[in-house]
Amino acid sequence: MENPVGNLISNLKRRNISGFYAKTISQAKELAESFIPKNSCIGISGSKTLDELGIVASLEARGNKVFNQYKPGISAKKSLEERNLGAQADYYLTSVNAISEKGELVFFSGYGHRISGIANAKNVIVICGLNKITLNLEEALKRSREYATVLNCKRLNWPAACLAQGVCRKEICLSPDYKRMCCQILIIESEINPDRVKIVIVGEKLGF
Distances (CA, A) of 127 to 97, 143, 148: 10, 17, 15
Q: Interface with ligand SF4 includes 143 (CB under 6 A)? A: no
- Chain positions 174 to 203 lying near ligand SF4, rule: CB under 6 A, are 180-182
**HSE value, Cβ hemisphere, 13 Å, CA-based, for 22:** 23
Select the span of 53-61, 83-91, 167-175, 195-203 touching ligand SF4 (CB under 6 A). Answer: 167-175
Query: If DSSP states are collapsed to H, E and C, what string results for 103-159?
Result: CCEEEEECCCHHHHHHHHCCEEEEEEEHHHEECCHHHHHHHHHHHHHHHHHHHHCCC
Distances from the Cα of 125 to the Cαs of 73, 74, 121, 177, in angstroms?
27, 25, 10, 36
Nearer to ligand SF4 among residue 64 and residue 152 (C-beta):
152
41 binds ligand SF4 (CB under 6 A): no
Residue 64 vs 149, nearer CB to ligand SF4: 149
Give least dist CB 140 to ligand SF4, A: 14
3-state DSSP of 62-77: CCCEEECCCCCCCCHH
Asked if 48 interacts with ligand SF4 (CB under 6 A), we say: no
106 forms part of the interface with ligand SF4 (CB under 6 A): no
How many other CB atoms are there within 10 angstroms of residue 76's CB atom? 8
Piece of the chain touching ligand SF4 by CB under 6 A; list 3-11, 90-98, 125-133, 173-181: 173-181
Closer CB to ligand SF4, 1 or 183, in the complex = 183
Q: What is the DSSP letter of 52?
A: H
List the strands of the sheet with 18-22, edge to edge: 18-22, 197-202, 123-129, 91-95, 41-44, 65-67
Is the Cβ of residue 41 or residue 163 nearer to ligand SF4 in the bound state? 163
- Report the DSSP beta bridge partners of residue 106: 98, 187
Q: Which of 140, 141, 148, 121 is nearest to 44 (CA)?
A: 121
Query: Rule CB under 6 A: is residue 98 a binding residue for ligand SF4?
Result: no
- For ligand SF4, the binding residue among 133, 150, 200, 206 (CB under 6 A) is 150
Is 1 or 187 the residue whose CB approaches ligand SF4 more closely? Answer: 187
Nearer to ligand SF4 by C-beta: 4 or 166?
166
Among 173, 184, 185, 204, indicate the residue that binds ligand SF4 (CB under 6 A): 173
Task: Give the residues lining the site for ligand SF4 (CB under 6 A).
Answer: 145, 149-150, 153, 160-162, 168-170, 173, 180-182
